[in-house]
Amino acid sequence: MLPRLSRPEILALQESRLRELVAHAYENVPFYRQLFDSAGVHPHDIRGIKDLCRLPIISKNDLRAVSPESIVARGLAPNSLHLHSTSGSSGEPFQIRRSGTDLERFLHFLWRHLEYYGAKPDDSVGIVVRLPDALTETKLTERPRLRSRVRQLWRAAIVLRHSPQAEGIKANWINCLLEPEAIYRQLLHSTARVLVGYPSVLARVALQMNGQAQLRPRLIATMGENLTPGLRLQLAEAFDAPVFDIYASNELGYMAWECRESGQFHVCDDGVILEVLRDNQPVAEGEWGEVVGTNLNVLAQPFIRYRMGDIVTKGRAVCACGQPFSTILEVQGRKLDYFRLPDGRDLHPYCIEIALREFLSDVGRFQLIQERENLIIARVTARAPFSPQQITRMQEAVTSLIGNEVEFRVDSVEAIAPEPNGKFRVYRSLLN
């Protein structure tokens, strides 16, 4: 059982962390000083979460438009930090810099989630992700003022009472861009008991086992992509292990993790402030909106009111299971992924996948593409081709959802390639 903070303690922590973060960003990060100045806001104005709306919302494009020096805290040489490149939907690279302390804190959160799902302190954890471009050896060249600030915040982090085993996590980092067979060998070699990674990559690894499971994970935790119903089923069957989903991003780190009991997601309220907004206003429980997040622990390159571009449905203020975290009901995925239909509706392709659920257990890879406003194609690598009757039933199921104006086609293909960043996009609208 995890030691944990009470709900009021978490809220108090959020408030004090937010104040510290805003002061740190204003003092040390030129981009934020300029941003807050031009919005006429001073850190003194941000007393707590209720004042958050006074700060401008930023996006990837805002950060991409400025130099690395202006978004990294003063006193930290950009080339002394761990560099993560991400490629957005546009394919334009975006770089994120992290200090060793930032990364350590991420690991604490990961371990907390894995422990909650049943990981044991001695478990070897195979983490199959896009690795940082360069894990630099250079010592951080922090100025004394920042160093003391970092230390001060780090002390505060200890108040979080994370799992004491976090230090002992046996993490085996494996590059997700390797061939599935090489990933599988590395996982076997490390006798991984816990698998963490992008669901599409783990599903390809599962195919390497040919039904003979030499790898016997205790549990699987997915992140970085939509865990679609089909992928969840595929992973659970192939590895004969429970599958849990974690909502995380390169920019904001760990944002939410699936509750074992309610099926909702616990928001990492002690690490991020996650706003769910529509037209920049908070939505009510049960409504969907865009994620705007503030990471409370990351100091080298802070993210404050950062628009993720993801759509989620807001859940309860506190989870029904008794954990002291707020919830999101569902992570629908990226806003860009929505399919605009001829009748003016914006349909998330997730709904189409749900309609096809019964057909997908036999599918290798699956991708939904909106080619034109009136044409949606499901590309599948099927282990056995679908019969004409099956295809008719699939079309009926989807047509009842999208209407007769849109043609729905099923294409069997040999292979579907991942994106250059190793992630696999299940949904893609060519209209966006």
Binding residues for Zn ion, rule: CB under 5 A, are 259, 262, 319, 321, 323
Query: What one-character-per-residue DSSP string does 60-110 give?
Result: HHHHHTS-HHHHSPTTS-GGGSEEEEEE-TT--EEEEEE-HHHHHHHHHHH
Query: What one-character-per-residue DSSP string does 332-396 give?
Result: EEEGGGPEEPTTS-EE-HHHHHHHTGGGGGGEEEEEEEEEETTEEEEEEEESSPPPHHHHHHHHH
Q: How far apart are CA 411 and CA 361, in angstroms?
A: 17
Nearer to Zn ion, 322 or 344 (CB): 322
State the minimum distance, in angstroms, from the CB of residue 258 to Zn ion.
9
State the minimum distance, in angstroms, from the CB of residue 9 to Zn ion.
17
State the minimum distance, in angstroms, from the CB of residue 256 to Zn ion.
11
Nearer to Zn ion, 5 or 321 (CB): 321
State the minimum distance, in angstroms, from the CB of residue 90 to Zn ion.
36
State the minimum distance, in angstroms, from the CB of residue 49 to Zn ion.
21
State the minimum distance, in angstroms, from the CB of residue 117 to Zn ion.
12
> Strand, helix or coil at 37?
helix
Q: Judge contact between 172 and 124, C-beta under 8 A.
A: yes
Nearer to Zn ion, 96 or 248 (CB): 248
Nearer to Zn ion, 186 or 326 (CB): 326
Nearer to Zn ion, 87 or 262 (CB): 262
State the minimum distance, in angstroms, from the CB of residue 21 to Zn ion.
27
Q: How far apart are CA 202 and CA 187, in angstroms?
A: 11
Question: Residue 68: which of 29, 25, 35 has the closest Cα?
Answer: 29
State the minimum distance, in angstroms, from the CB of residue 266 to Zn ion.
6
State the minimum distance, in angstroms, from the CB of residue 261 to Zn ion.
5
Nearer to Zn ion, 257 or 306 (CB): 257
Nearer to Zn ion, 230 or 315 (CB): 315
Q: How far apart are CA 395 and CA 411, in angstroms?
A: 12
Task: Quote the longest CA-to-CA distance of the chain.
Answer: 71
Report the DSSP beta bridge partners of residue 95. 85
Question: Residue 70: which of 99, 39, 29, 35 has the closest Cα?
Answer: 29
Q: How far apart are CA 351 and CA 217, in angstroms?
A: 30
Instruction: Spell out the residues 6+ positions from residue 257 whose beta carbon is closer than 8 angstroms to its own.
Output: 113, 116, 244, 245, 246, 247, 265, 266, 268
Nearer to Zn ion, 81 or 331 (CB): 331
State the minimum distance, in angstroms, from the CB of residue 157 to Zn ion.
23
Question: Residue 48: which of 84, 17, 6 has the closest Cα?
Answer: 17
Nearer to Zn ion, 219 or 380 (CB): 219
Nearer to Zn ion, 197 or 315 (CB): 315
Question: Residue 366: which of 353, 348, 384, 347 has the closest Cα?
Answer: 353
- The torsion defined by the Cα of 206, 211, 214 and 216, in degrees rounded to 10, comes to 70
Q: How far apart are CA 293 and CA 87, in angstroms?
A: 19
Report the DSSP beta bridge partners of residue 314. 328
Nearer to Zn ion, 129 or 319 (CB): 319
> Strand, helix or coil at 267?
strand
State the minimum distance, in angstroms, from the CB of residue 1 to Zn ion.
14
